[in-house]
Each structure stands twice: as structure tokens, then as C-alpha cells.
């Protein structure tokens, strides 16, 4: 199964009943009026457009936030990637953001990224080898990944990092095994001398695999539990311990797939939230951080989505359970009205279904191609009113939710289209 397709799988599990659609027409009038009178038109999504005056409304909404999360409906939304590139430039050049954290390999984008000399060619090569093709082979990401980001080095670097527990980059495949083994040997924990370490743990590190059977996954998981127990508690916030916990989450995901349990995605999102908190609190405690991930990962208050029970427990919601981080975070979802979508290496291009006339996507005049709406301002103005309305907030499908509680703001794109294959 494509590990980057699960957001769309989540979407298919929601049921929006006709009755709810009718009910939302009543409850959504407050939101409709607010959007129509408070949206800010964005003049361009071209990364080369450096007159950032049209982004000032977004900047004012972000205010002094230290963490800004930028979503995407699908991992192949070309206009979204262009818009995010321009926003990232704005945030770095006008708001002082210094770190860009991707939904990508935690080990490779920290241990590996920090080790090599940051020349333009080295950066480009490392990104191609250690980030997913959904971005690295998308032409609309080339400006950010291969020109702008390398160009910030060495004078005022935009540091790249990752927070995904799926350790699938080239660097991880080559170095994770020896890194963990060296660390555990240096700690001289008793478990490294056992048959279980030799037979159930060490052989799988080099390939990042724990076998194909439930028994092999379970043995690897038990070995990890014992290893983590024997490592000193004082090292809970160390990078090595974080890597061990990422491996543990990966093992739990593998077991969940085999048993077809419902906690597969929440395990991943919880670990991604822990990783992001570690980046914010430990590695970059004084830096402003931009987060690049799917809408379905960054949203908060999933209980505000009709039809959701325990299936969708996103990273963003786990992350903002820390009240200090909640106050320091601005979550920007992305939304589009129509067009086509699809991702590099995916299942082809597909049409986006036109939304109902009373959905969020129709709150904007036809001539507006791009716009920003600050939901956080709505929540402050109407603290006791959290209206349900229809919007494409997860993937390119329409859901009924109290969306002003799920995102702090929305970047609206009228016409969606998929990535062009790049190099």
C-alpha cells in the first residue's frame, strides 16, 4: 500500500448524509456572511512574485506565532505548492522563520541533513535521495527545493528538517542500523548481549524491515520495548531515544496493518506530533518553524467533523494539546473549488467534484482565483458560535464540520490542477 495515500483512505470513511447537508445550510449562514465580508484576495501564487503586500492579511493573522502549519488537500496539488513556496518566502523574509519541517523521514532529515556540507549541489542531491517523489519530482516544487532553499546557504539558511516516523529515506536505509547499534553498544545495556538482540532486532535494522509475518514484527517490537526500558530515563528527550520511539511507532503500524486494526493512522500522527514537539522544544527552541504536511495531518479538534469518531486523530490535534504550543501555532488549511488532481507516482489524474452551491467554495466571487480567510478572527468575534458548514477540508471531498475550530485559516484556490513531472 502506498504509505502516502492514507489521507484519501481516511476521507472515504466519512459519511455526509443529505440531512446534514440541509442542516448545514442553516448553521452555515453565519460563516458565509463572515467569509464574504472578511476574505482577503491574494493576487498571485507565483513564487517569483516578491511584492508581498497581498500576504499582509495572512501575516497579521499569524501575528507572533512561532509555528505555522501549511496544509495541502492531496500530495500533488500544484497551485498549492506554488502558493506555499511564496508563503514560505514571505515567512522567512518578512516574519523571521528559519526552519522548514516536512512530513518526511525524521532520521534522515535530522541526523543525515546536519552532517553534510551545504553546497547547492549537495543540498539538491540529498533532497532528491531522501524526500518523496510527490514533491521532489513535482515541477511546481522545484523553485523551493532546488533553487530558493539552497540559495539561503550559507549566509542565512532556511534549515530543512522532517518529522515523519516512516524512516524511508536513502540515508536511513544506509545508516540507521549502524547508528542505533553503535548507540546501544555505547550505553552498554544488557539486552545487546542477548540472543533476542542478535536474532530478533539487529538483523532487521539494516533493511528497515521487521519481516513479513506478525510474529517477526511482534518480536522486534518486544525487543524495542526492552531496549527503551534499559536506556536511562534521563535520556528520554535525546535524539537517539526519539529515533527508537519512531521505530517503535513504525512497528506498531506494521502490526496494525496485518491485524487490520483502526489505530494505524493515529499511531503515526501521534509520533509525528511528538517529533514535531521535539523539534520545537529541543532542537530549535528559539526558532520560528514552518510545517509542511497534509490538511488531514495538521487539523485540530477532529470531533468537530461530522461522521468522525476515532478514525481521524491528527498530528495537529495531538500537537496543540500542549496549551503553550496551541497559543504559538497558526494552522493554515488549503482548499479549492474545482479542477483536477493527482500526484506523482499515484493512481492517475482524477476530476474534482464540484461542491454544492452553499458550500464554503461558493462563498467567494467567481472572479477571485485566490483568497485567504482568517478563521481565528471568526472564533474571537463569535466565541459561542461554531457553525457547521460544508467545505473540502480533507482531500478533495466535501465534509460537514465546524471548520473554524479545525483550522485557524484557509487559503482558497479556485482552480486546482496536478503537478507537472519535474526532474
Query: Taking 80 as the threshold, does the pLDDT of residue 44 lie above it?
Result: yes
* 281 and 350 both lie in a single domain: yes
Q: What is the pLDDT of residue 406?
A: 97
Q: What is the pLDDT averaged over residues 183-197?
A: 94
Q: Is residue 421 part of a domain?
A: no
131 and 79 co-located in one domain: yes
What's the sign of the alpha-carbon dihedral 263, 264, 269, 275?
Answer: positive
The pLDDT, as a whole number, for residue 15 is 42
The mean pLDDT of 88-104, rounded to a whole number, is 98
Q: Are residues 39 and 122 in the same domain?
A: yes
Report CA Rg, the chain.
22
Residue 353 near residue 417, CB atoms below 8 Å: no
67 and 89 belong to one structural domain: yes
State the Cα–Cα distance between residues 67 and 90, nearest whole angstrom.
14
Per-residue confidence (pLDDT) for residue 4, from 0 to 100: 42
225 within some domain: yes
Judge whether residue 39 has pLDDT over 50.
yes
DSSP letter at 210 equals -
Mean pLDDT in residue range 51-59: 98
Q: What are the grid coordinates assigned to 208, written together? A: 528497515
Q: CB neighbours of 124 closer than 8 A, spacing ≥ 6?
A: 145, 146, 150
Residue 13: per-residue pLDDT: 45
Q: Is the pLDDT of residue 343 over 70?
A: yes
Phi/psi for 78 (5° steps) reads: -60, -50
48-66 average pLDDT score: 97
Q: Is 46 helix (H, G, I), strand (E, B) or coil?
A: coil
Residue 309: what pLDDT? 58
- Average predicted confidence (pLDDT) for the chain: 91
What pLDDT score does 25 carry? 54
CATH number at residue 142: 3.40.1660.10
Identify whether 72 is part of a domain.
Answer: yes
Q: Among the three residues 233, 263, 293, which one is the final residue of a domain in this structure?
A: 263
Residue 18 falls inside a structural domain: yes
Q: Give me the number of domains the chain comprises.
A: 2
Highest mean pLDDT among 201-205, 229-233, 300-304, 419-423: 300-304
| Interval 370-410: pLDDT, tens | 999 999 999 999 999 899 999 999 999 999 999 999 999 99
Mean local confidence (pLDDT), 328-351? 96
Among residues 212, 229, 263, which one ends one of the domains? 263
Strands (E), 12-133: 40-41, 67-70, 97-105
Q: Residue 172: which pLDDT band, with cuts at 50, 70 and 90?
A: very high
Which domain, by its residues, includes 207? 170-263
Q: Are residues 43 and 158 in the same domain?
A: yes
Claim to verify: residue 221 and residue 286 sit in the same structural domain: no
CB 328 within 8 A of CB 67: yes
Q: Do residue 358 and residue 410 come from a single domain?
A: yes
- Determine the Cα–Cα distance for residues 86 and 303; give it in Å rounded to an integer: 32
Residue 268 falls inside a structural domain: no
Closest C-alpha among 320, 308, 269, 325 to residue 403 = 308
Strand pairing report for 288-292 and 67-70: parallel
pLDDT of residue 17: 44
Mean pLDDT of 263-290: 96
Mean pLDDT of 292-316: 89
Other beta carbons less than 10 A from residue 350's beta carbon: 14
Residue 395 in domain: yes
Report in angstroms the alpha-carbon separations of 164 from 10, 153, 297, 332.
18, 24, 11, 19
Average pLDDT over residues 240-255: 94
Q: Are residues 151 and 253 in the same domain?
A: no
Residue 419 CA to residue 221 CA, distance in Å, equals 38
- Whether 6 has a pLDDT exceeding 50, the answer reads no
Confidence (pLDDT) at 98: 98
319-326 long-range CB contacts below 8 Å, 24 or more apart? 319/273, 319/276, 319/277, 322/277, 325/67, 325/277, 325/280
What are the CA-CA distances from residue 135 to residues 102, 130, 140, 143 (Å)? 10, 11, 8, 11
The reported pLDDT for the residue numbered 262 is 84
Domain presence at residue 145: yes
pLDDT for position 347: 87
- For 175-186, how does the pLDDT look when each residue is reduced to its tens digit (9 = 90+)? 999 999 999 999
pLDDT in tens, 109-149: 999 999 999 999 999 999 999 999 999 999 999 999 999 99
pLDDT tens for each residue of 17-36: 454 555 555 567 889 999 99
What is the C-alpha to C-alpha distance for residues 113 and 101, in angstroms, rounded to an integer?
12
Confidence of residue 310 (pLDDT cuts 50, 70, 90): low
Residue 46 resides in a domain:
yes
Inter-CA distances, 131 with 1, 101, 172, 239, Å: 18, 12, 11, 20
- Looking at the structure, tell me whether residues 346 and 407 fall in a common domain: yes
Q: Final residue of a domain: which of 210, 238, 263?
A: 263
* Residues 139 and 19 placed together within one structural domain of the fold: yes
Of 308 and 313, which is predicted with more confidence? 313
pLDDT for residue 10 is more than 50: no
Residues 142 and 291 in one domain: yes
Q: Are residues 332 and 395 in the same domain?
A: yes
Amino acid at each position: 500500500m502506498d504509505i502516502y495515500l492514507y489521507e484519501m483512505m481516511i476521507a472515504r470513511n466519512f459519511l455526509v448524509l443529505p440531512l446534514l447537508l440541509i442542516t448545514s445550510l442553516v448553521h452555515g449562514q453565519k460563516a458565509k456572511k463572515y467569509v464574504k465580508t472578511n476574505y482577503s484576495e491574494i493576487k498571485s501564487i507565483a513564487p517569483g512574485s516578491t511584492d508581498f503586500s497581498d500576504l499582509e492579511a495572512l501575516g497579521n493573522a499569524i501575528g507572533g506565532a512561532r509555528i505555522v502549519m501549511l496544509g495541502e488537500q492531496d500530495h500533488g496539488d500544484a497551485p498549492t505548492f506554488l502558493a506555499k513556496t511564496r508563503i514560505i518566502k514571505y515567512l522567512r523574509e518578512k516574519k523571521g522563520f528559519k526552519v522548514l519541517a516536512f512530513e518526511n523521514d525524521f532520521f534522515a532529515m535530522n541526523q543525515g541533513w546536519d552532517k553534510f556540507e551545504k553546497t547547492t549541489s549537495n543540498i539538491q542531491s540529498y533532497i532528491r535521495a531522501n524526500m518523496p517523489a510527490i514533491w521532489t519530482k513535482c515541477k511546481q516544487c522545484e523553485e523551493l527545493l532546488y533553487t530558493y532553499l539552497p540559495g539561503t546557504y550559507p549566509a542565512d539558511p532556511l534549515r530543512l528538517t522532517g518529522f515523519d516516523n516512516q524512516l524511508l529515506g536513502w540515508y536511513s536505509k544506509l545508516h540507521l542500523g549502524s547508528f542505533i547499534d553503535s548507540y546501544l553498544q555505547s550505553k552498554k545495556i544488557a539486552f545487546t548481549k542477548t540472543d533476542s538482540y542478535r536474532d530478533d532486532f539487529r538483523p532487521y535494522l539494516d533493511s528497515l524491515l521487521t519481516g513479513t509475518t506478525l510474529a517477526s514484527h511482534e518480536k522486534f517490537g518486544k525487543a524495542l520495548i526492552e531496549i527503551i526500558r534499559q536506556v536511562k530515563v534521563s535520556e528520554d528527550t535525546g535524539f537517539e531515544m526519539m529515533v527508537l520511539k519512531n521505530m517503535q511507532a513504525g512497528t506498531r503500524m506494521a502490526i496494525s496493518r496485518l491485524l487490520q486494526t483502526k489505530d494505524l493512522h493515529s499511531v503515526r500522527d501521534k509520533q509525528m506530533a511528538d517529533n514535531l514537539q521535539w523539534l520545537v522544544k529541543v532542537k530549535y527552541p528559539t526558532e520560528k518553524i514552518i510545517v509542511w504536511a497534509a490538511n488531514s495531518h495538521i487539523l485540530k479538534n477532529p470531533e468537530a467533523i461530522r461522521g468522525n469518531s476515532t478514525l481521524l486523530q491528527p498530528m495537529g490535534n495531538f500537537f496543540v494539546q500542549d496549551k503553550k504550543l496551541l497559543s504559538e501555532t497558526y494552522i493554515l488549511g488549503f482548499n479549492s473549488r474545482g479542477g483536477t488532481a493527482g500526484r506523482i507516482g499515484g493512481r492517475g489524474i482524477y476530476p474534482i467534484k464540484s461542491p454544492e452551491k452553499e458550500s464554503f467554495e461558493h462563498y467567494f466571487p467567481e472572479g477571485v482565483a485566490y483568497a485567504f480567510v482568517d478563521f481565528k478572527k471568526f472564533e474571537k468575534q463569535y466565541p459561542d458560535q461554531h457553525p457547521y458548514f460544508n467545505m473540502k477540508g480533507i482531500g478533495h471531498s466535501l465534509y460537514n464540520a465546524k471548520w473554524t475550530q479545525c483550522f485557524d485559516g484557509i487559503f482558497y484556490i479556485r482552480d486546482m490542477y496536478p503537478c507537472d513531472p519535474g526532474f
